[in-house]
Structure 1
Amino acid sequence: MFQGNIIEKCKNNDRKAQVQLYNNYCNGMFHVAYRFLKSVEDAEDAMQEAFVKAFKKLHQYNSEVPFGAWLKRIVINHCLDQLKYDKNKIESIEDQLYEPVEVENEEFSEAWLLEVKESIMEAIERLSEKYRIVVLLFLVEGYDHKEISEILGITETASRTKLLRGKRKLQEYLKVYSNGVTK
């Protein structure tokens, strides 16, 4: 197994293997950090610090879970710690009014889909921190409620409740993009 070989070399402080492992995962982990911290500089710092933690704790990694999932959890935990201890980094996003998107035909253009995706991410950013983090972990990162409860130190019920309330807020924020077609 190629990746397993690299990880074993990293455990033995092989610098070339560490650089290779870093290069394989740095872009993906940057995007994970950016979704939480909303700043390029903060995301880069968080990613770097998470890699340092990962290399220090690499002896704790076992191959029962994919390395990328293990590393992603370190990155997310580091981002959550940064959000907890540095409230200045959390930027409140002012309520914005959006014009409904008019689609001329039934087919959705790539530009329109990109705009919708951006609108969804903007709406997620508008959520209060208690909802935003659970929504990001569940909808974007793909964690289940058990994993979210472990990461955040809350009950699974609290995770479900925060997700439900966060999704309701998202629906309110995104209502304008439904172009008048609501159920």
Structure 2
Amino acid sequence: MFQVNIIEQCKQNNRKAQLQLYNQYCNGMYIVAKRFLKDANDAEDVVQEAFIKAFSKLDQYKAEVTFGAWLKRIVVNKSIDFLKAKKQELVELNDVHLKVVDTPIDNKWLVDDAITLNDVKLAINKLPDKYQYVVMLYLIEGYDHQEIADILNISEVASRTQLSRGKTKLQELLTLKNHGTRY
């Protein structure tokens, strides 16, 4: 009930309520933006822009999802828009060129026990953008393929294919190579 009250006050342009909502979510949204944008200043800028957009579009928030989930989607979209603007364009695959793999969907992302979380993060950062964004949205942010398709403006088939290929590439990167060195 408290959250609904603050949001209603924010809709009335109550600056104190907006500051309270901002303070509640700014750190979490910064972490989300930082996953996409390596520069801290860029991440801060994106979070600020996301809050500005959220406050200006608050009348569109229908409470079908939590406010945090709604805001997170805005942050993710703003992060991707920022990357596009910096000429790090997302490479779109043409559906005609995609091969649908008939392997069962597995939730096993098995890697060697010696692999650390830092190793995984480094490997994800080395993935080509078209795989990196899908892997991050799926594994880290927890979006499903329909949501990823909407965010990245690709088809669900492309999302599934890019995730599968990204997973394969990620496992290759995490495999010990040449005399025990990775990457």
Question: TM above 0.5, one fold?
Answer: yes
Q: Distance in 2 between matches of 1:174 and 1:51?
A: 36
TM superposition shift of 1:175: 1.1
Moved over 4 A (4+): none
2:5 counterpart residue number: 5
TM superposition shift of 1:57: 0.4
Q: Which runs of 5+ in 2 are unaligned?
A: 91-112
Report SS of the residue matched to 2:142.
Answer: coil
Q: CA RMSD in A?
A: 2.1
1:19 counterpart residue number: 19
Q: Report the TM-score, using the length of structure 2 for normalisation.
A: 0.81
TM superposition shift of 1:87: 2.4
Would the aligned equivalents of 1:132 and 1:166 in 2 still touch at CA under 8 Å? yes
TM superposition shift of 1:89: 10
The alpha-carbon distance between structure 1 residues 89 and 162, as it changes in their structure 2 partners (threshold 3 A), is closer
1:86 counterpart residue number: 86
Within 5 Å, give how 1:1-183 maps onto structure 2.
Answer: 1-87=1-87, 116-176=116-176
1:108 counterpart residue number: none
Aligned residues: 156
Identical columns (%): 60
2:106 counterpart residue number: none
Would the aligned equivalents of 1:37 and 1:89 in 2 still touch at CA under 8 Å? no
TM superposition shift of 1:176: 2.4
Higher helix share: 1
Q: Which runs of 5+ in 1 are unaligned?
A: 91-111
Q: Distance in 1 between matches of 2:176 and 2:66?
A: 40
Give, as a single letter, the amino acid of the residue that structure 1 aligns with 2:142.
G
Give, as a single letter, the amino acid of the residue that structure 2 aligns with 1:119.
D
TM superposition shift of 1:88: 6.4
Report SS of the residue matched to 1:87.
Answer: coil
Report SS of the residue matched to 1:176.
Answer: coil
**Mean alpha-carbon deviation: is it higher for 154-163 or for 115-124?**
115-124
Give, as a single letter, the amino acid of the residue that structure 2 aligns with 1:61.
Y
Could you report, residue by residue, the CA deviation over 1:53-102 in whole angstroms, capped at 9, with x for unpaired residues? 00000011011110000000000000111111112699xxxxxxxxxxxx
